[in-house]
Chains A and B, each alone.
Chain A
Amino acid sequence: MQLADTRDVQQAFANLSEKQALDEYNFEHFRTKHLLNDFKLTASNRGILPGELAPDFKLPQVGGGALRLSDLRGAPVLLHFGSYS
């Protein structure tokens, strides 16, 4: 599929299958189903695959301001997702 150069994360989220609702995403208790879901997501290649354009986003930054992913073009980026807990 040819992706536009301005592919946006909001558009990708709107088209996402099996996305989690707010209270499901921010679960109260870690359960077996969460671990199994991670295995399922891994097996189903969930995410942005190699060669695809990384959907652009702009998020608030600790310390002030915000950062847009596409503003970093011109150099490779390591993008890590992590949880406080």
Chain B
Amino acid sequence: MRFVDVVIRQAHPGPGARPYDTFDAKFHDAERYQRDAHIPWPVLVDDLEGTVHQVYSGLADPTYLIDADGHVAYFSMWTHGPTLNASIDALLSQGGRGVVNGGIDHVVHLLPSMTDGWKGIRRGLPQSFTDLETAAPGMASGIWLGYQLRPVIAPLTLRIDPLPTPAKIALALGAGFIAYRAYRALAD
């Protein structure tokens, strides 16, 4: 299995993360991207037009699994560790070839961004925060809060293994209980 990262445009621009107007600026950020995240595999830099990114969906944070023959085996439209991990296992178990796990994951996985997205947003402060809060009220502050709660929620939101069934049942029961208590509180 080979891993490759491609650095795309600024997602949340601001004073410390200006929209790219030269390739050198984008390359410089790619160097910091690799260094800060301790990425051990190749980090590539897309052109200013986002040619590769736009062809490969233009989404904010997509991941593809490409099989040994160069065909798309799995497309995680909003990168999600557990389903990707399961898809990697499936791909390797069938000799590295063919479509796996239904081929595509459309689910808008926001929990990882709500936990770890602050690392990106803080590079463009303060504009990145005010822009996102204006575009989607509560999202920037929620991402900040999620980052503060990271030690508690990361084992759930940034996990790479699918949740065991008992944990899913416990979470569903917990959510149901909270919803019930909220309903009773409002009804009273």
B174 close to chain A: CB less than 8 A = no
Cα of A2 to Cα of B109 in the assembled complex, Å? 32
Cα of A9 to Cα of B14 in the assembled complex, Å? 30
How many A-B pairs fall under 8 Å by CB? 242
- Inter-chain contact A78/B64, CB cutoff 8 Å: yes
How many residues of chain B have a CB within 8 Å of chain A? 83
B54 close to chain A: CB less than 8 A = yes
- Inter-chain contact B31/A62, CB cutoff 8 Å: yes
- Proximity string of chain B (29-59) to chain A, C-beta cutoff 8 Å, 1 when within and 0 when not: 1111110000000111111111111111111
Kindly list chain B residues whose C-beta atoms are within 8 Å of the C-beta of A45. 104, 106
Partner of A54, one of B17, B70, B108, B120: B70
- Inter-chain contact B21/A26, CB cutoff 8 Å: yes
- Inter-chain contact B74/A50, CB cutoff 8 Å: yes
Give the size range of A's interface with the partner.
35 or more
The distance from the CB of A36 to the nearest CB of chain B, in whole angstroms, is 9
Please provide the chain B residues from 128 to 147 with a CB less than 8 Å away from any CB of chain A in the complex: 128, 131-132, 135-136
Kindly list chain B residues whose C-beta atoms are within 8 Å of the C-beta of A12. 55
- Inter-chain contact B108/A78, CB cutoff 8 Å: no
Cα of A66 to Cα of B45 in the assembled complex, Å? 9
Kindly list chain A residues whose C-beta atoms are within 8 Å of the C-beta of B102. 50
CB-CB nearest in chain B for A25: B50
Kindly list chain B residues whose C-beta atoms are within 8 Å of the C-beta of A43. 106
Partner of A83, one of B10, B56, B70, B132: B10
- Proximity string of chain B (95-116) to chain A, C-beta cutoff 8 Å, 1 when within and 0 when not: 0100100111010100000000
Please provide the chain A residues from 3 to 19 with a CB less than 8 Å away from any CB of chain B in the complex: 5, 9-10, 12-13, 16, 19
**Residues of A at under 8 Å CB distance from B?**
5, 9-10, 12-13, 16, 19-20, 22, 25-32, 34-35, 38-39, 41-43, 45-57, 59-62, 66-67, 69-70, 72-85
